[in-house]
């Protein structure tokens, strides 16, 4: 499992301009980058199934996420979340600049 700061969750259920049903859930997370030439946190998003939405009880929060990989369209690898474990809440406080 890997620790991630999950900052948001969006559920959607609508019809597109062709009348097709579009339904799903997306989590948004931050991940510390070790890439050369990059400082700070990188943002990411990932689709999750309806049954996993309830696992994200506190946002923003730290979660252990276990990933698995499956083969998608065109043979492209797609990461999916296998399990979720809440670690702790995060409280972002707005700080005022001293003048």
pLDDT, averaged per 10 consecutive residues of the chain (99 residues), comes to 92 94 95 82 92 95 93 90 94 69
Sheet with 61-71, side-by-side order of all strands: 41-48, 21-32, 2-15, 61-71, 77-89
pLDDT, position 32: 82
pLDDT, position 38: 86
In DSSP terms, 11 is beta-bridged to 25
Written out in words, the top-level CATH class of the domain with range 2-89 is: mainly beta
pLDDT, position 47: 92
Per-domain residue ranges for the chain?
Answer: 2-89
């Amino acid at each position: 499992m890997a620790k991630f700061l999950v900052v948001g969750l969006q559920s959607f259920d609508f019809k597109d301009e062709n009348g097709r049903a579009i339904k799903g859930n997306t989590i948004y997370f931050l991940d510390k980058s070790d890439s050369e030439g990059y400082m700070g946190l990188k943002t990411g998003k990932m689709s999750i199934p309806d049954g996993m939405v309830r696992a994200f009880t506190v946002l923003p929060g730290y979660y252990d996420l276990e990933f698995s990989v499956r083969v998608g369209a065109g043979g492209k690898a797609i990461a999916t979340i296998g399990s979720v474990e809440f670690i702790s809440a995060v409280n972002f406080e707005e700080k005022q600049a001293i003048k």
